[in-house]
Structures are given as structure tokens and as C-alpha cells.
Amino acid sequence: MGCSSSTQKTSKGEDGHNRATNQNSNLNEGQSEHREIERRPQSRNDDDTRIVRDDGGGDANTYEDNDDNEYYGFDGPQANPPPKPSPPPAYESREQTPPREPTPPPREATPPSREPTPPPREPTPPPREPTPPPREPTPPPRETTPLPEARFPTPEPYPEHFENDDEDDTPFDDDGVRDAEGYSSNAMGLLEKTTDFRLEHAKDDVETRPYGDPHSLFVDHEFPLEIAIVQDNHDIEWKRPKDFLDNPALFTEGTTRFDIGQGSAGTCWFLSTVANIADNERILGQIIPDGSYRVEDSNAYDGIFHARFFRFGKWEDVYIDDFLPVIYGNVLWGAKSATEERELWVALLEKAFARLYGSYDAIYGGQPGDAYLLLTGGIGERIELDDHAEKPKAIYNRIRNALHAGCHVSCVVPDEFDDYCGLVGGHAYSLVGVAQVGSDKLIRVRNPWGHGEWKGPWSDGSKEWASIPENTVTAPNKDDGEFFVSLDDFLTYFSQTTICSLTPDFDRYGSSDSLNHILNVYGEWSGQTAAGFHKLLQNPRFCFTVSDKGRVEEGFVPLVVQLIQQSEKRRTDNISIRCDIFRVLGDKIGAKTRCMALEIQGKKNNVYAPELQSTFRHKLKPGPYVVVPSTVDEGQEKAFLLRLFTSAPLQNIRPIPQDVDIVSCEFEDSFAADGAVHELTFERTLFGEFVADKNAGGQVSYQESYHLNPQYQIKIPNKGKEVPLVVHIMQTYKEPQYPVGFRLFKMDHDVQLPVDIAYLYNNYQDSPTDVEGSQSKFMISWDVDIRFMLPPGRYIGVVHLDKPNTEKGFAIVFKSTQLLKIRGFQTS
């Protein structure tokens, strides 16, 4: 957050309170079929194929057969077939001259006397929409340039699988050796494990204390005044403390939030966080270690100050000389101690932070959560107060709980309220306490300037304090930068608050949860993996396994992902980033290829942000997952760090090579139909491949080959009512992207699969309709989905592409509320 510059003294303190996203299609006899191919925005997302997941549902046992992808359960009685659907409405098109309505094929079992004329051999799909999937409300334009060539060697592919194309029950354990958990205690007492998958490892230059002694004090020639302060440095001098102070000291009587006084540098975002941790001896000792400044020992004084900051996942040592910016001969220009003139820890820490980023100018303005990360290695959550204005009690309770649990809280006044009742717009404050007087809920706030307070209700000396009961809250009456404001005024005049803790507050009750295991994963966007939003799944992908050890009472495992981009210049080199989690639905290992089916997790509110760090919460079931960090634009090359916070160790972390084929679908665990919400507890995932001259039959007008397409037998049990069926057809995530179609047919008792073209033509018009009233779906998308409410019985699902002999890999997912029997034919 930006800060107003001021030469005024800055102070910040605490008194101890903060222990705290159709159509009916019929075939026209004697006429070419013209079918509109719908284009969906891109998702974010073999003969014998097998399923690796079953998430329950139904009341019958199933087992797997090696022949044609068959799954068995108990059949319910065969219900009478539903009535034939009404004739479809006239074909509508966005074209100025719509084609004639196709009519169904002849009812005879023999081929019609007048064979349908095939459509043009090169049906041109509609232009690709530049809009993104629903998960991204602010999309970038679709890139049409090819991927850049990889600059680095391609990672080794997974080992070949030599056992009849089976799917792997432990999909990330190809070598038979599971990762050792390998977590160990870090400087803050948390359990941590680090893995680095960068191909170009950044050199970890270890800084050592430079040379200096009492007779030759250290001078940092790379950080003189003209570099440290670029703008308006004419009246500033560079002086050592002993040249303008008597008896300078690093600390005088310990440290408190009241020590912090902001000077002319716009570092309120940083100093407000320093104030919040000033009382925490362990954290401050990590930042300013013992022996960091020896000004009080004449025999050891060397003119050096040592500080440490947590940058890009590691504690980085910074050594500076003790020249400080001074005005008027003896007044510190920058931060200073607001309690003791000769105390230097605040001024030196601000200079060390400026040295880390190159100048004082470089650290003007920022987010308190970023400061907390740099000072502690912890995690912060920014809460936009406008989004919670209707829930004032919940906000108050969360702040109260956070302070009580020892979390650190800051808040910001937006520019529009600058100079309103003493507030400073674009300025970060510390939030240091709460109080309740009768029915009035109060928030205690501190200005890091050390003065400049709220002048409205409940301000120092206001009339509200005159009527409070005795022995409740001590009425403030001192211009020390600390003041009370009512909860209503806080929600009105402050725009955001940031709650920071060493581990995440997953449940948002205000206190950090027991997510004390941190898995650090270093990676990079480089060459082909700098794929951007429109090629999301070509970005770096890392798989891991969630065990059931961290399961909470609600049955899920909490996971918080913090994505940090490497940033050397703070404001000028940050790019828009985000991170997605996918559940592994299936993992098929072939002799030469591998394909993984994924389902994206979380709500459709994941957006890109040009922030140093972004945080994402997930509630996961135990099992295998894939995490995919991405940038908004293609070709943005940079290193990143993923930090995964859990309550138990994650297992089997490893990258997924780019030669592994990926298919993905949107998250769906329920859907609404017939006035009810149906929970989808059954799931089956099967893999397939369209192969030229075998099963790539094209769309229905190709009567010589349509019946050769993959066919799936689906048996709906008799539960006394219609049963939901959701189908996702996912093509492999590599260009070109093809139109994909799906149609459901009723299956007679005496019919065996695969059925011939006569059966499909004769039953074409009687195809069941989906919940939107369409008999088929045909569109260009990585993930084509269709939903039905079906009476009991047997059905045939046909998957097809547009033209015959088009080759493409795919996976198909069936979901329902009941256990289904599914068998695939001609799947590769």
C-alpha cells in the first residue's frame, strides 16, 4: 500500500493487547447433415482401459474384467421404455441463410434406398472464441503464436510400462520407491521439506560478515547516499551514529511497538508490520541476530549492521555499514525510535531492507502481507472489508480471535478518505486490539508515524468516553498515534485488513490452524512450460499424494497453497500469477505413452494477480493430486516457489514431464435438475483413443464408419425414479483441438455391442434428451459435458469426432448418484 511521505516522526506500538467461474440433431435422408458445432471456451483446466477411482455410491459390488472395459453390478428390473420425444424444433442458426432441418433416417433395419449425402469433407468449425473458461473473469486474449522452443533439456519421461497397458494403482510411484517424508524443524519451529525442480538452479550466495575493525570501519561502497536515496537527497547527509548521537545503542530497554517511528520514507507498510512483531523476541531475534551491531563495544565496533530477511523461501543475510540519512545535522531522515533518540534498531533495519532491494525509493509502498512474509516467512490473508460490510460481527470476532492467538493484523485507509477526521489516505496502520463497551464494539488502531489520530467518535477525549462504566476500558488521551474507532466506522473508512501468522488460518475463525507442515517446491516457467493461461496444463505440473492422516472431522484434508514469484525489484518485475489444484481421476500407462485424467478443484473464483505472493485454500479428499502454477501471458519466464501447508506430510512429490498427455474436466460433485440437487457419489474414468482405419468413424452422416466409433454400454439401475448421469469427454490437451460429439441411444434387450449402423440409424430419432432438451452434443472443447435424467434401462453412448480417421486420445468420465455398470467397446 502506498504511504504519504512525511518528515514527521513515526511511532508504532502496542500495550500488550495483541497477544493476539443445441439442438436436436437428426439425419436427413437424401440430404447432407448440417450440424452446428458449438465452441466452448477452453477449460482450465487402447482396447482395454481400466478405472483407477471409484468414489462410492450405489448398493452393489463391482469388479473389473480384462475384456472391453466392463464393469458389473446387479441389474434392476427393466423398466418400460420412455415415450418417444416430440419432433425437434426447427433448426436455428446464426447464419443469414440457415440450412434445411435434417430429418431422421429411415425406420427400416436395412440401409435406406437413398443414402444420405455426406457433409462437405472439410467442415469448418466456428472461429475460436478468445474468451477464457468461466474460472477467469478477466481473460487475456488467446495467443496464436506457437510455443517457444525449450531452452533447457526436456525432463526424462516416465519409465515405460511393460504390463499390458494397465493403469497404475500408485500413479506417482513408478520406480517403486516412495518419497521419504523428510520434514525437519525450521527456524520458526515448523516442520518443513524443500524440493527443487529448477533446471537452472539459482546460486545461493552465502553472505559473510565483511571486514571492519575499530581502526578501519566498514564502508559499503556499493550503497552510497546517492544510490540509497535517489530522489530529493540534496539536504541529506550520510552520518554514522557516533557523529550525531551520544551513546548510541542498538536497543535500550527492549523492544515494543511504540519504538517504531516512521520518517520521510514511504515505508508504512513495512513499519506497521515491524511494529506488530516488535514484542516477539523469537521472531525479532531471527531478523536481528545476536552480535549484529557492536556500537556499544569500542573494542568490537566495526561499523557493520547485520539483518536477515526471508526472501524466496530462504533467510537472506544483509550486511550494511551504519551510515544513516540525517537532516538538520542530527535528525534522522528515515525511520527512528519513537521512544528513545539514541536507539537505532528501527533506523538500521529500515536501511537494511532498502539495501536488500537497492534503495529507499525501491521500498516505497507495498502490502503488509508481503512485509510479513519477508520478516517472518509466514503467510498473510488480505480481507477486503467491502465484501464483509454485511457481516460486522464476523469481522470483529475474527480480528479478536486473531489478536488473542498472537497473529499480527494491519489495516489500510483508502485514498478517498485522506484527511477525513485525521485519517491518512493510502496509509497502512497496525491493528493492535479490540474492546467492547456495552453494545459498542471498538477497534484499536495505531499509526506508525507515532502521532496523527482519528478525530471522530471514540477518539481520544471524545464525548463517548464520558459515559462508559468504570473499570471497563481506559479512556485514551495521548497523541501517540494509537486510537479507538467504532466497528461501524472501521468498516466504513478502512478498505482492508491483513491477518498474518506463521501458519494459515484455514477455517477463517481468526487463529492459525495446525497446518504446521510446509512443503517447499521450487520450479520455473521456462521455454515450453512458460505456457500462460491459454495453455494452462502445459505449465509446470507437480503431482503429490494427500494421505488421510490430516483429515478433519468434516472428512476432508485442508491444504493451503502459497505461490511466490521470484522478485528482485519488487514493484517493476512482478507478473500476474495464479495456482490451480487438480484431482487425479485416472492415470493410464502405455508401452510408449502415458495419459492422466484430471479434475480441477475449488470454486470458480481463481484469478490472476500481479502480486509477490498469492494464497489458495482447498478441501481435499485423500488421494493423488496435481498442482499447476501459471502466469497470465505466454512466454513469461521466471522462477517460482510453491509452499504447501498441511497438517500432515504430503507424499510422492515429483514433476510430470511434458510428454505425458493430460486431459481435464471441470469440478462437479452435484447438479440441479427437476427441482432437486443431486450429489454425484459414483464416478468412473475410462481412457480411449481414436485410431485411423479402426475406430475414428466421424460424425453420423458418415454411414460407412459412424458405427465404428467408441461405444459404451451404460446400465441404469431401477431405483423407482429417474437417475442422474453426467458425462465428461476430455480430449488430450494438445493442439489441434477437435469438435467432439456424444449421443445416447436406447439399447434393446437382445442387442449386443458393438451395434451396427442400421441399429444406430433406426434408433436415431428416439435418442434420450439431456436436461437442456437436446439429443446430442457436438462442440469444440477440451471438456465436453452433458447431463441426463434417465429411467432404468440399458443405453449406448457413442463418442465421435467430426471427420473419419482423425486421431486423438481422450478420456471419458461417468458420474451418477447410483452405482452404474459400464462397458466400453472399440475404445482404441
Please write the tens of the pLDDT for every residue from 585-619: 999 988 888 999 999 998 665 789 898 998 888 88
Cell of 202: 539459482
- How does residue 507 score in pLDDT terms, banded at 50, 70 and 90? low
> What DSSP designation does 578 have?
E
Domain count, the chain: 4
* DSSP per-residue letters across 354-377: HHHHTSSGGGSS--HHHHHHHHHS
- Which one of the listed residues 28, 276, 401, 447 is annotated catalytic? 447
Of 632, 665, 698, at which residue does a domain stop?
A: 665
Q: How far apart are CA 632 and CA 657, in angstroms?
A: 21
Q: Are residues 683 and 802 in the same domain?
A: yes
CATH number of domain containing 60:
2.60.120.380
Instruction: Give pTM, 2 decimals.
Output: 0.75
> What DSSP designation does 115 have?
P
Is residue 159 in a domain?
no
- How does residue 430 score in pLDDT terms, banded at 50, 70 and 90? very high
3-state secondary structure of 560: strand
Q: Say whether 3 is catalytic.
A: no
Question: In this model, does residue 150 exceed pLDDT 90?
Answer: no
Q: Are residues 685 and 646 in the same domain?
A: no
Residue partners of 661: CB distance under 8 A and separation at least 6: 593, 594, 595, 596, 732, 733, 734, 809
Is residue 300 in a domain?
yes
Model pLDDT, residue 694: 96
Each residue's pLDDT tens digit, 284-329: 999 999 999 999 999 999 999 999 999 999 999 999 999 999 999 9
Q: How far apart are CA 612 and CA 628, in angstroms?
A: 17
Contact present, 615 and 645 (Cβ < 8 Å): no
Question: In this model, does residue 637 exceed pLDDT 80?
Answer: yes
Contact present, 278 and 284 (Cβ < 8 Å): yes
Q: Are residues 292 and 336 in the same domain?
A: yes
- Which one of the listed residues 408, 427, 618, 800 is annotated catalytic? 427
Name which residue leads in pLDDT, 763 or 182: 763
Q: Are residues 682 and 777 in the same domain?
A: yes
Model pLDDT, residue 769: 97
- How does residue 474 score in pLDDT terms, banded at 50, 70 and 90? confident
Grid cell 460407412 in the structure block, residue: 704
Cell of 76: 434392476
Question: In this model, does residue 501 exceed pLDDT 90?
Answer: no
Cell of 515: 497446518
Model pLDDT, residue 39: 53
- Which one of the listed residues 268, 543, 579, 665 is annotated catalytic? 268
The torsion of the CA quartet 87, 92, 98, 99, rounded to 10 degrees, works out to: -30
Question: In this model, does residue 508 exceed pLDDT 70?
Answer: no
Model pLDDT, residue 450: 85
Identity of residue 203: K
Is residue 404 in a domain?
yes
Model pLDDT, residue 55: 39
For residues 6-33, one letter each, b for 16 or more C-beta atoms within 10 angstroms of the residue's C-beta and e for the rest, the string is beebbbbbbbeebebbbbbbbbbbebbb
- How does residue 724 score in pLDDT terms, banded at 50, 70 and 90? very high
The torsion of the CA quartet 509, 512, 517, 520, rounded to 10 degrees, works out to: 100
Q: Which residues pair with residue 798 across a beta bridge? A: 711, 743
- How does residue 537 score in pLDDT terms, banded at 50, 70 and 90? very high
Contact present, 210 and 218 (Cβ < 8 Å): yes
Q: Are residues 340 and 463 in the same domain?
A: no
| Mean pLDDT, residues 777-784 | 96
Q: Are residues 723 and 818 in the same domain?
A: yes
Is residue 21 in a domain?
no
Residue partners of 160: CB distance under 8 A and separation at least 6: 591, 592
Q: Are residues 763 and 817 in the same domain?
A: yes
Question: In this model, does residue 155 exceed pLDDT 60?
Answer: no
Of 501, 530, 559, at which residue does a domain stop?
A: 501
Q: Are residues 649 and 685 in the same domain?
A: no
Model pLDDT, residue 121: 35
Question: In this model, does residue 626 exceed pLDDT 60?
Answer: yes
Is residue 52 in a domain?
yes
Contact present, 538 and 733 (Cβ < 8 Å): yes
Q: Are residues 519 and 424 in the same domain?
A: no
- How does residue 109 score in pLDDT terms, banded at 50, 70 and 90? very low
Is residue 17 in a domain?
no
| Mean pLDDT, residues 555-568 | 90
Q: Which of 401-405, 628-632, 714-718 has the least mean pLDDT?
A: 401-405
> Residue 762: in which H helix or E strand, if any?
helix 757-762
Q: Which of 548, 551, 688 is nearest to 624 (CA)?
A: 548
3-state secondary structure of 282: helix
List Cα–Cα distances, 345 to 217, 286, 354, 593, in angstroms.
19, 14, 14, 60
Which range of 107-116, 125-134, 378-387, 757-766 scores highest in mean pLDDT? It is 757-766
Percent helix / strand / coil, the chain, rounded to 5: 15, 30, 60
Name which residue leads in pLDDT, 549 or 351: 351
Grid cell 449386443 in the structure block, residue: 752
| Mean pLDDT, residues 413-430 | 93
| Residue 39 exposed, middle or buried by CB count within 10 Å (0-12, 13-18, 19+) | middle
Model pLDDT, residue 555: 82
Q: In the predicted model, what is the mean pLDDT of the chain? A: 79
Residue partners of 102: CB distance under 8 A and separation at least 6: 25, 26, 27, 28, 31, 33, 34, 35, 91
Q: Say whether 404 is catalytic.
A: no
Is residue 641 in a domain?
yes
Residue 392, by phi and psi: left (phi above 0), alpha (psi -120 to 50) or beta? alpha
Each residue's pLDDT tens digit, 236-254: 999 999 999 999 999 998 8
Q: Say whether 268 is catalytic.
A: yes
Phi, psi of 804 (to 5 degrees): -65, 155
Is residue 2 in a domain?
no
Question: In this model, does residue 535 exceed pLDDT 60?
Answer: yes
| Residue 282 exposed, middle or buried by CB count within 10 Å (0-12, 13-18, 19+) | exposed
Model pLDDT, residue 478: 80
Q: How far apart are CA 803 and CA 486, in angstroms?
A: 68
Q: How far apart are CA 428 and CA 637, in angstroms?
A: 32
3-state secondary structure of 353: helix
Q: Are residues 405 and 472 in the same domain?
A: yes
Of 501, 532, 548, at which residue does a domain stop?
A: 501
| Mean pLDDT, residues 28-36 | 40
- Number of helical (H) and strand (E) elements in the chain, helices listed first: 8, 39
> Residue 618: in which H helix or E strand, if any?
strand 613-620
Cell of 281: 523476541
Q: Are residues 622 and 558 in the same domain?
A: yes
User: Which percentage of the chain shows pLDDT scores above 70?
Assistant: 76
Q: Are residues 452 and 348 in the same domain?
A: no
Question: In this model, does residue 47 exceed pLDDT 50?
Answer: no
Q: Which long-range contacts (CB under 8 A, 24 or more apart) does 349-353 make?
A: 349/274, 349/287, 349/288, 349/307, 350/265, 350/267, 350/270, 350/271, 351/228, 351/305, 351/320, 351/324, 352/305, 352/307, 352/309, 352/318, 352/320, 353/267, 353/270, 353/307, 353/309, 353/318
CATH number of domain containing 441:
3.90.70.10
Q: How far apart are CA 683 and CA 815, in angstroms?
A: 5
Tell whether the torsion through CA atoms of 758, 762, 766 and 772 is positive or negative: positive
Q: How far apart are CA 124 and CA 739, in angstroms?
A: 10
Model pLDDT, residue 741: 97
Q: How far apart are CA 827 and CA 686, in angstroms?
A: 9
Which range of 10-19, 33-42, 214-223, 468-477 scores highest in mean pLDDT? It is 214-223
- How does residue 456 score in pLDDT terms, banded at 50, 70 and 90? very high
Strands 304-311 and 324-327: unpaired
Q: Which residues pair with residue 642 across a beta bridge? A: 521, 563
Each residue's pLDDT tens digit, 638-693: 999 999 999 889 999 999 999 999 999 999 999 898 889 999 999 999 999 999 99
Domain enclosing residue 724, as ranges: 38-116+671-825
Contact present, 818 and 723 (Cβ < 8 Å): yes
Model pLDDT, residue 414: 92
